[in-house]
Structure 1
Amino acid sequence: MLTLLHLLSSIALLVWGTHIVRTGIMRVFGSHLRRLIGQSMQHSPLAFGAGIGVTALVQSSNATALLAISFVAQGLMTLPTALAAMLGADVGTALMARVLTLDLSWLSPLFTLIGVCLFLTRKQSRAGQFGRVLIGLGLIILALQLIVHAAAPITEARGMEVLFSSLAGDTLLAVVVGAAFALLSYSSLAAVLLTATLAGAGLISLPVALGLVIGANIGSGALAWLNASLQPASARRVALGNLLYKLAGLAVLPFLDPLVAWMGTLGYSPQTQVIGFHLTYNTLRCLTLLPTVGLMARLCEYLLPEREADIGVAQPRHLDPAALDTPSLALANAVRETLRIGDLVEAMLARLQSVLLDERPESGEEIRRMDDDVDALYSGVKLYLARMDREDLAEEEGRRWAEIIELTINLEQAGDIIEHMLGKIQRIKTAKRRTFSHDGQEELSQLHALLSANLRLGLTVFLSSDPHSARQLLEQKRQFRRSERELAHAHVHRLHHRVMESIDTSATHLELIADMKRLNSLFCSPAYAAIEADSLVQTGQHGARAEKPMPPGAPADSAAT
């Protein structure tokens, strides 16, 4: 029982090591990997090579699948190109399996020592995340050694021989077991490494090992399909084509017995034979299927047609779940979606002006519909940011996270305020059949124009964090306050002269000015974050200059100066 526990714990360590390497690489090089795939999206051969390179670095074809799926979902990559990248990903996984089964036992303590030192001392930096990758590599190599030692006593047990001999007579069962393990471990690479190690230890026969390898490839395809199940049809086609390509590999099963007999004459160890089969099998399969990506794309489009679904509210476009392992990319996606919310609020303001001037009666319904869209997108951004682990964010990324969530909250509140302003205007014009005086309507339009300009500048400051624009925004905020006070006084002056329209609409007029004042404060909030960030940078630069050592030969009193 203890021996079996050691084996299971070693397998768990292998799975955990591959997970650490995958997430660490995505956090350090995720933006570069996405750029590499994005630059290769015009040509299938280039996409095939990019898939090999990205997967070899990330050590996970599933991570490459998530990247390709997100590109197709956003319309940045065609389906045939994405399928070519997925074929390259299978070859990249096989290459990494070959590298990790070399005799690298001496690297395990070295990688672990260096990785722990980097991660603990510089956790929030890129160097710290690279240390995380080294820790994962060290754990993978160590886990492979532990599996060999734990499997040795098991190979001598008769019960285990009977158990694994039942797989030897049913290749399809071995394929199913391999697929199940790839699903459970979230990594076909871990499944293949484990299979090769068990075959090298003599725990499983070569035919069983080859069946498990084929099943592990199919399991990774099923995993990508499950991950894409909530994506739009265009993205699910990538996962479907990838799965169909992996299922096409079952065509090798009738030739497995003569292949095993031929491999036995080569004189290589069982572990080398398993890894060699995995590399050759994936390379030949993918190169053979590469010219068919266009046909496969048309088949997937036929099987998964696009269906228009009108659910009444806007849906997030840029919140890619695959980018969550790369904080810089995830934050950039959240920024894009936040700017989309800002565009909706700006459109609501424009419709409000139409209602105020009686230009478009249908603008009221449009405002209410857009407020529902703002609420939906706000909820999407909020939940997306909540999925990010703030402990793993660098200091600057943590500040940006806070800026995004604060602005989305402000924009959601602004949408509610605009909807309430709409109700006030419609009540005074429809229910009470009153109209604003000509001067009063001009004043509200004047404030509206200033408000719209401040919203646009606020979104620009949020995007660029430019301190000069931030100071300009604060100056415009003060100008708006001055205009708001002057117009409120002008309204009271008209009341003094008993202008009937102003008397009838006085309460609503002043409430609308107060609402615009609140909106202006919400729109100008990004200025404070930009100025605070700039002051922190300036403080850091001054601190660095203050700590700079004096050059040799400098006078002793220069420090006091």
Structure 2
Amino acid sequence: MTLAINLIDLAGFIALLLWGTHMVQTGIQRAFGSKLRAILGSALRNRFRAFLAGMGVTAVLQSSTATGLMTAGFAAGGFMGLVPALAVMLGANVGTTLIVQVLSFDVTLVAPALVLIGMLMFRRDSRTQAHDLGRVFIGLGLMLLALRHLLDLMTGYESSPTLAALLGLISSSWLLDVCLAAALTWAAHSSVAIVLLIMSLATKGIVPPDAAFALVLGANIGTAINPLIEGPAGDDPAAKRPALGNLIGRLVGVALAIGFLGPISQFIMAIEPNKARAVADFHTLFNLAIAVVSLPLLTPFASLLHRLLPDRADPADPARPLYLDPAAKETPIVALGAASREALRLADVLEEMLLGVNAGLAKGDRRLLVEIRRREDILDKLNIAIKSYLTSLDPDELNETDQRRLNEILTFTMNIEQAGDVVDRNFLPHASKRLKRGLVFSHEEQNDLTAMIARLAVNLKTAASLFVTEDPRTARLLVDEKAVFRDAESKATASHFDRLRDSDLQTAQASSIHLDLLRDMKLINSYIVAAAAYPVLERTGALLPSRMT
């Protein structure tokens, strides 16, 4: 009966750890949203900075498993390249050893405070980012509580006669030690708890130092298995690259360490006679050695992982380029035509986003707004694919006309993608705020928004047509549309001030969001005009430096 209860406790604490990890990951993604890609891109462009970031995050989270799962999720979502993701994993491996070094201080005492702070932010602050950061604090607190209970549960077995007899039987086989510790760590989801248990066993003399070091090696394998098994869901094997790379590195390191475990054990015990400290030091030195050897080799290792787990070509993936034929690069005019056809798909995706926003506002359905964010990811991926394709063309094979068309395609894709960013970063948060607060637009305001979004969609179709025809008359008509949005913004501003004078707070708040949405649409329209009209007018000499015609 006691065994069954303990197994239920173990499963519950593991579930709590996984749920805390999930809350931290989703909270970070929701809090930073589309900015996360830029933040990680600038912070983790250098593998050594990525290594330090992984070490620091793990030291905070107290779980290399949690860091591994989040890193795998970010890499699978395109927020992080493979080389920095592998560097983060190496840093996480070292970071978790620091926890073992300092866990004599009961840092889990802050867990209730983290949950309390997170709950206050989650429940009482209406700002979206603070709300999501509250989710992160709650997740961190739950993770610390789960790890503390896991440690307490496993520490209760350290003096078990059955366990002592079992470990005594396998102490002579380092390979069995490795397998046993790997299985325990995989089941517990915490190398920290297992290594602390090993330290206790070594201190009490239940296992000799060399067997304790072999158990530590097994714990390092076990903690690398969890992100591989529980990483991003889906059929794309490429999502498993960071976790697989981390596991391969651990396996190679363990294989080498096993071969020299006897001399290593004698050396460490001569330096540090305290058995518990010797186990902790071996754990840290092992991961530092793997990091020092691996960091310079991450680029070729990443190439190997790309070959082992190639990108899955999903014909139904809307972000997959359809017209960028590599064979067409030999003939620049054909390649430019293919890139132009691909660029028109960006306009189609942006139109879907605009119509989706209109439907979401009209129906008050937040799920439609969430779906639009996925469309923005399609814009980003297609834009990157087109840029990579065009910049890979041999410039010596391009004449002056070809180079001009190449620049026009890049201008079109860049502006359409930036218009999508405005929808994602500005328009959607304003629309979500209106739905979240239960604010109701007046009949006139709702009709105004619907009409302006419809006008944006028409302008987008015009821009796509202009991108193909390059007709100066159509370009002037498209530029004239900027005045329509300026007038609509001026009218909405005057109406907003009238409502403020009426002192109707809720109506004024709805009016303020209505004004923000119109300003967002004005900016989106500016990008649409710049995407297709400006290049045509500039070529004909009809565009002044002030962007006036």
What is the TM-score when the length of structure 1 is the normalising length? 0.52
Q: 1:165 to 1:242 in 2, by over 3 A?
A: same
Deviation of the 1:197 alpha carbon: 4.2
Secondary structure in 1 matching 2:45: coil
Q: Which residue of 1 aligns with 2:316?
A: 313
Deviation string 1:79-120 (CA, Å, 9 cap, x unpaired) is: 333322222221122222323x3142xx65x53554565566
Q: Pick from 160, 163, 181 the counterpart of residue 160 of structure 1.
A: 163
Conserved? CA contact 1:183–1:222, under 8 Å: yes
- Identical counterparts, % of pairs: 28
The answer to whether residue 418 in structure 2 is matched with residue 463 in structure 1 is: no
Q: Distance in 1 between matches of 2:262 and 2:100?
A: 23
Deviation of the 1:281 alpha carbon: 0.9
Counterpart of 1:130 in structure 2: which amino acid? F
The answer to whether residue 231 in structure 2 is matched with residue 225 in structure 1 is: no
| Equivalent residue runs for 1:110-259 within 5 Å | 110-111=109-110, 113-115=112-114, 117-118=116-117, 124=123, 125=131, 126-127=133-134, 130-131=137-138, 133-134=140-141, 136-138=143-145, 140-141=147-148, 143-145=150-152, 147-148=154-155, 150-151=156-157, 153-154=159-160, 157=161, 159-200=162-203, 202-226=205-229, 227=231, 230=234, 232-250=236-254, 251-259=256-264
Deviation string 1:355-397 (CA, Å, 9 cap, x unpaired) is: xxxxxxxxxxxxxxxxxxx9xxxxxxxxxxxxxxxxxxxxxxx
Secondary structure in 1 matching 2:228: helix
Q: 1:18 to 1:74 in 2, by over 3 A?
A: closer
Q: Which residue of 2 aligns with 1:275?
A: 280
The answer to whether residue 68 in structure 2 is matched with residue 65 in structure 1 is: yes
Q: 1:54 to 1:166 in 2, by over 3 A?
A: same
Q: Which residue of 2 aligns with 1:333?
A: none
Deviation of the 1:249 alpha carbon: 0.9
Q: Distance in 1 between matches of 2:346 and 2:28?
A: 29
Counterpart of 2:449 in structure 1: which amino acid? L
Counterpart of 1:249 in structure 2: which amino acid? G
Q: Distance in 1 between matches of 2:204 and 2:507?
A: 57
Q: 1:281 to 1:114 in 2, by over 3 A?
A: same
Secondary structure in 2 matching 1:137: helix
Q: Which residue of 2 aligns with 1:45?
A: 48
| Equivalent residue runs for 1:340-351 within 5 Å | 343-344=348-349, 346=351
Deviation string 1:12-42 (CA, Å, 9 cap, x unpaired) is: 6764664465345435555568765432332
Mean Cα displacement is larger for which, 40-49 or 182-191? 182-191
Secondary structure in 1 matching 2:104: coil
| Equivalent residue runs for 1:23-34 within 5 Å | 23-26=22-25, 29=28
Q: Which runs of 5+ in 1 are unaligned?
A: 318-339, 351-373, 375-398, 409-455, 480-530, 543-561
The answer to whether residue 58 in structure 2 is matched with residue 55 in structure 1 is: yes
Q: Which runs of 5+ in 2 are unaligned?
A: 124-130, 321-344, 357-363, 374-419, 435-440, 456-495, 510-549
Conserved? CA contact 2:50–2:88, under 8 Å: yes
Deviation of the 1:168 alpha carbon: 0.8
Structure with greater Cα Rg: 1
Q: 1:200 to 1:20 in 2, by over 3 A?
A: farther
Deviation string 1:175-213 (CA, Å, 9 cap, x unpaired) is: 122222333233434433443344445554433332222
What is the RMSD of the two structures over their aligned residues, measured on CA atoms?
4.9
Conserved? CA contact 2:150–2:193, under 8 Å: no
Secondary structure in 2 matching 1:249: helix
Q: 1:477 to 1:308 in 2, by over 3 A?
A: closer
Q: Which residue of 1 aligns with 2:104?
A: 102
Conserved? CA contact 1:55–1:61, under 8 Å: yes
Counterpart of 1:237 in structure 2: which amino acid? R
Mean Cα displacement is larger for which, 126-135 or 399-408? 399-408
Q: Which residue of 2 aligns with 1:364?
A: none
Q: Distance in 1 between matches of 2:54 and 2:121?
A: 31
Counterpart of 2:140 in structure 1: which amino acid? V
Conserved? CA contact 2:369–2:428, under 8 Å: no
Q: Distance in 2 between matches of 1:59 and 1:291?
A: 27
Q: 1:472 to 1:233 in 2, by over 3 A?
A: same
Mean Cα displacement is larger for which, 77-86 or 131-140? 131-140
Q: Distance in 1 between matches of 2:115 and 2:232?
A: 34
Conserved? CA contact 1:25–1:58, under 8 Å: no
Corresponding residue pairs, total: 365
Q: Distance in 1 between matches of 2:193 and 2:115?
A: 22
Secondary structure in 1 matching 2:260: helix
Counterpart of 1:232 in structure 2: which amino acid? D
Deviation of the 1:463 alpha carbon: 2.6
Q: Distance in 2 between matches of 1:38 and 1:113?
A: 33
Deviation string 1:141-180 (CA, Å, 9 cap, x unpaired) is: 45535544x23641xx2x4332111221211122122222
Q: Distance in 2 between matches of 1:236 and 1:168?
A: 34
Deviation string 1:428-456 (CA, Å, 9 cap, x unpaired) is: xxxxxxxxxxxxxxxxxxxxxxxxxxxx9
Q: Distance in 2 between matches of 1:210 and 1:165?
A: 15
Conserved? CA contact 2:21–2:139, under 8 Å: no
The answer to whether residue 298 in structure 2 is matched with residue 293 in structure 1 is: yes
Secondary structure in 1 matching 2:279: helix
Q: Distance in 1 between matches of 2:505 and 2:205?
A: 64
Q: 1:233 to 1:276 in 2, by over 3 A?
A: same
Q: Distance in 2 between matches of 1:71 and 1:112?
A: 25
Q: Distance in 1 between matches of 2:311 and 2:453?
A: 46
Q: Pick from 248, 264, 267 the counterpart of residue 269 of structure 2.
A: 264
Conserved? CA contact 1:207–1:260, under 8 Å: yes
Counterpart of 2:104 in structure 1: which amino acid? L
Q: Distance in 2 between matches of 1:349 and 1:28?
A: 26
Q: Distance in 1 between matches of 2:366 and 2:194?
A: 37
Q: Distance in 2 between matches of 1:114 and 1:77?
A: 31
Deviation of the 1:139 alpha carbon: 5.1
Conserved? CA contact 1:25–1:57, under 8 Å: no
Conserved? CA contact 2:200–2:276, under 8 Å: yes
Deviation of the 1:290 alpha carbon: 1.0
Secondary structure in 2 matching 1:465: helix
Q: 1:278 to 1:121 in 2, by over 3 A?
A: same
Q: 1:269 to 1:292 in 2, by over 3 A?
A: same
Q: Distance in 2 between matches of 1:293 and 1:45?
A: 11
Counterpart of 2:243 in structure 1: which amino acid? A
Q: Distance in 2 between matches of 1:139 and 1:240?
A: 26
Q: Distance in 2 between matches of 1:6 and 1:206?
A: 32
Secondary structure in 1 matching 2:44: coil
Deviation of the 1:71 alpha carbon: 4.7
Q: Distance in 2 between matches of 1:232 and 1:6?
A: 38
Q: Which residue of 1 aligns with 2:369?
A: 404
Deviation string 1:207-248 (CA, Å, 9 cap, x unpaired) is: 333222212222333333333584535443333322221111
